[in-house]
Structures are given as structure tokens and as C-alpha cells.
Amino acid sequence: LTIARFYVSPDELKKSCLAIEGLAHHHLSRVLRIRLGQKVIVMDGEGSVGQATVREIGPSKSLLAVDTLIKMEKEEPGLHLFQALIQWKKMDRIVQYMVEMGVNSLIPFSCHRSRPLESLGADRVERWRNIAVESSRLAGRPYLPRVENPKDWEGALLSLQTFDEVLYADEEGGSRPAEVLGSRDNINIGMIVGPEGGFTDKERESLAAFGVSPVTLGDTILRAEIAGLVMTSALRCHYGLL
Amino acid sequence: LTIARFYVSPDELKKSCLAIEGLAHHHLSRVLRIRLGQKVIVMDGEGSVGQATVREIGPSKSLLAVDTLIKMEKEEPGLHLFQALIQWKKMDRIVQYMVEMGVNSLIPFSCHRSRPLESLGADRVERWRNIAVESSRLAGRPYLPRVENPKDWEGALLSLQTFDEVLYADEEGGSRPAEVLGSRDNINIGMIVGPEGGFTDKERESLAAFGVSPVTLGDTILRAEIAGLVMTSALRCHYGLL
């Protein structure tokens, strides 16, 4: 069976004997019922991954001795998903899927046909961050993906310039993602998925003005819920990662 | 906005003026509120796709005049997903996703760590078929995908021989799907996705004995819910369809 994985802080992972506390300790000692002497994986979310042996299990914390520690290479290309705000249930799944598929950051945004930014509520983004950490732990990702603060349409457009290439999934067709990217690598790629109902003509014009390439995801019509996952698959496939 | 699509029987689509009844009529007249003279798409689920004009909207049926009718090419390669029975909520989504992604048939099966075949209940498969038809209508697929009767493990293994190549998603790694398939095309491909927790050693031996190739879906660990979707994306990408 799969070996258990835990995130600890980068400072904690620098120690040869580290402590696991709080929810992670509860998970280790009560849920997984890990025993003294068992091996686990510890990760700092910034690329360092260690194998450790459980040395002590107390009522409020466990102590682990780090046996080996390696630094994983940064994930290339960088994949960043701009996702229009849709039904909250679907957003939860999108966070989970994008983490499992190796996306590096999720940037939720609002636009004309999306849910409005104001409907987010106080703890919605916090909830997505928790889902991201838990999915990332289960998927064993050495670099923790980020869930950025949601942006309005103008904010989303302005942040596009930090990427080397930006693609958006267009129901009306376009080139294949592989054709747009060609043989460039080591780049940061933004992927934009609009709301159910798509972008308005005005929004499409803005995307074009910002140099965003419309891409096709094949000849069937995908719902917004899986469009990001499918675009990510296409890119990972193009880069030989899938 | 997207044009409305309806399935009719192959016999109905042979007529120059056809009738839409029952739920489809309700959907056309009440939900979409389509008016006289509007254009819609009619499909027979066997590759024939027509554009039609609404000529009459009655209380129990609508009449459509078929303007143009074309026969779409058969989808190549044929993609067939063997999915181990997992949580019913997830199975519902798997049916939806696989239809949107162009899979041609879904073969649910039981194995050691899946839900047992006996837990299916009388109307579960019927429910999946309804989801498949509705997803297919929304996705605009000219060929209706099939949901086969669920099979036990032996039944699933025996049915593998009808495919030209069978791949299974293996957490322990393997070749990339593209490497296994190479340049062969026009083939029928079986894709096997195991249950959460994976296949037993004995089941893995059986798969090997039946000539099934283990493939990797990248270096993260995917849940059973999206493994089929990601494998389908990898194959569609390999064949230039994504």
C-alpha cells in the first residue's frame, strides 16, 4: 500500500529530528494508525522530500527522524489555470483535479457570465486552499500548488503579462495547444477557462488584444468543469509528461 | 449562443418532416422556448446529423423540416473505457466526462477492491445510460456512446480480446500511452481504470497474462475518478484530436 505523506514547514524539515503536530499528528496517529519504526514521507512543499522513521508518538505530537532528504527539480513547464468562477461544488472539484494534474497555481476570476466576485464569502478561498493542500499531499506533489486571491476581469487580464504564453479554451475552435506552443520549453503557461456560456464578444476582443491564443480542445463541447483538466492533459502530453 | 440539439430515431431522421415528442418536445417547447422558424440540429446517434427548421409546435409534439442531412465519419480510434465500480456519485461523473471526451463505450466491471456487482441495484445502469444520452446531446456527439452491462472480473478479462490494444493505468508506472500505441491507427483501444486502492497482485498478473500494457499517467497520483478522463486525453492528444 502507498506510503503516508505529510507536509511540514521548510524550517522543520531542516532538522534531523522533526515534530508533527495538530491535524497531521492526528492523521498519522489515529487515522492511519502508524506505529513506531514505520517509514513515512515528509515534504516541505518547496521541493524538499525526505524519508523519515517514526520515533515517538505522543498525545499531541509525533517525532520523526529524517533518514534521507532530496531536493526535487522544479516542475517544467509552469502551468497556471485562470478559472472563471462557476458553481461552488464544481469549483471544489476543479481545485482537486488541477492539483492532481500538476497545475502550479489556480487564479479564480470573475467575468460577465461567471459568478460575481462578491458572492465568494469569507471562507471560500480558504476552503479551496485546504482542498489544494490535502489533494497535493495525497498526490505526493513536492511543490505545493497555490490558490491565488480571486481577481476581477480587469485584474485577470493585467496579470496575464507575467506569463510566456497564454491559451484560452474556445468552443469556436482554434489551433491545437501543441501547435501554439511548438518546441518552446521551460516556460510559464497561463490557461484560461471561461464560464458556462462562454465569454462575451467584448471579453473575447480583450483576450485577443492581450495576445491570448484561442485553442480547441477537440470536436466535442466540454463543460467548464473539465475544460481546465483537459487543457492541462493536452499540455502535459505535448511536453512528454503524460 | 449554441444551437439546440436533439436525438431522434434513425427511422425518424429518414423523413423530410419529422416529429419530436415526449421529453425532447417538452425541452424544445418549454425549457428552451424555441419558436417557429428557428433552426435546430437533429441527430440519430448513428452518425447522421441534420439541420432542421421548426415548422409546428403543438401541445404534445413539434414538427421539424429537415433542410440538410450529412453522415459524419465514424470516430477513430475507437475508445472503450473499462471502469472499476467505485462510489456511485463518482460513477455518475465518470459517465458524463467520458461522453464529453469522446469515449465510445463504457464497460463497468467489478474486481477485488471495487464495489461488488450485487450492489448495483435495478436502475443504476439505466441511470448511467440516461446521463450518457443527455451528456452526448449537450456535447453534440453524432455517434451515441454506449454504457454496457456491468461485468464481473472474469467477464471483463474475456471481453478484452475484441480490442486491438488494451492499456491499464498503473500507479507503479509503465510506458507512456503514446509509446505503447506508436503509429498504429484505425484501431479499437480498451482502457482499464482500476478501483481506488488499485488492483491486487493476482489481478495484475491476470492483466499481464491477457497482454494488457501498464501505462503511466504522469508522476502524480490520480484518483480513479479522473484517471479515465486523463488517459482518454492522452490518447486523443496522441492521435491529434486534442
Residues in chain A within 8 Å Cβ distance of B220:
100-102, 139-141
Block residue for cell numbers 459524419: B72
**A233, B242: Cβ pair inside 8 Å?**
yes
Given a cut of 80, whether residue A59 has pLDDT beyond it is yes
Q: Is B173 on the interface with A (CB under 8 A)?
A: no
Give the SS3 label for residue B206.
Answer: helix
Contacts of A223 in chain B (CB under 8 A): 96, 100, 138
pLDDT band at A197 (very low <50, low <70, confident <90, very high): confident
Report the pLDDT averaged over residues B145-161.
96
For residue B193, list its beta bridge partners: B83
Record: contact B100-A220, CB cut-off 8 A: yes
Residue type, B124: R
The question of ipTM being above 0.85 is answered as yes
A127's CB contacts (< 8 A; 6+ apart) are A92
- 8 A C-beta contact, residue A225 and residue A169: no
For residues A7-21, give the mean pLDDT.
Answer: 94
**Residue B29: which of B44, B18, B21 has the closest Cα?**
B21
Exposure string of B14-32, with b = 16+ CB inside 10 Å and e = fewer, is eeeebbbeeebbebbbeee
Mean pLDDT on B53-68: 96
Return contacts of B197-203, CB within 8 angstroms, 24+ apart. B197/A1, B197/B113, B198/B113, B198/B171, B199/B111, B199/B112, B199/B113, B199/B168, B200/B111, B200/B112, B200/B113, B202/B112, B203/B111, B203/B112, B203/B153
Q: Rounded to two decimals, what is the model's pTM?
A: 0.90
Please, which residues 134-153 of chain A have a Cβ atom closer than 8 Å to chain B? 138-141
What average pLDDT is seen over chain A?
93
- Residue A7 phi/psi, 5° resolution? -95, 140
- Mean pLDDT for the stretch of residues A183-198: 91
Range B147-156 average pLDDT: 97
- Is residue B229 within 8 Å of residue B242, measured between CB atoms? no
Q: Which residue of B has its CA nearest to A139?
A: B221
Whether chain B has a CB inside 8 Å of the CB on A72: the answer is no
State the cell numbers at B89: 456519485
Does B194 touch chain A if contact means CB atoms closer than 8 Å?
Answer: no
B42–A contact, CB cutoff 8 A: no
Cell of A222: 466540454
If you measure CA to CA, which chain A residue comes closest to B169? Answer: A242
Write the pLDDT tens digit of every residue in B189-198.
Answer: 999 999 998 9
At A54, give phi and psi (nearest 5°).
-75, 120
Mean pLDDT of A169-191: 89
* Mean pLDDT to the nearest integer, B100-106: 95
A175 touches chain B (CB under 8 A): no
Closest-CA residue of chain A to B237: A234
Question: Does the distance separating the beta carbons of B138 and A221 come in below 8 Å?
Answer: yes
Q: Find residues 207-236 of chain B whose CB sits inside 8 Å of chain A.
A: 217-223, 226, 229-230, 233-234, 236
Q: For A107, left (φ over 0), alpha (ψ -120 to 50), or beta?
A: beta
Number of C-beta neighbours around residue B9 at 10 A: 11
On the question of pLDDT at B92 being above 90, the answer is: yes
Residue in A185, A175, A144, A169 with CA at minimum distance from that of residue A229? A169
Pairwise CA distance, residues A230 & A169, whole Å: 10
Please give the pLDDT value at position B91: 97
On whether any CB of chain B is under 8 Å from the CB of A2, the answer is yes
Confidence tier at A1 by pLDDT (50, 70, 90): low
Strand order in the sheet with A213-215: A146-147, A105-109, A78-84, A188-193, A165-169, A213-215
pLDDT given for residue A215 in this prediction = 94
More confident residue, B122 or A118: A118
Residues B230, A242: C-beta atoms closer than 8 Å: yes
H/E segment holding residue A20: strand A17-21
Whether the pLDDT of residue B95 is over 60: the answer is: yes
CB contact under 8 A, A100 and B222: yes
What was the pLDDT predicted at B53?
97
Question: Is A229's CB within 8 Å of B234's CB?
Answer: no
Peptide bond into B77 cis (omega under 30): yes
Q: Whole-angstrom Cα distance, residue B150 to residue B85?
A: 9
d(CA B47, CA B75): 9
Question: To the nearest whole angstrom, how far is the Cα of A76 from the nearest Cα of chain B?
Answer: 13
Q: Which residues of B touch A194 (CB under 8 A)?
A: none
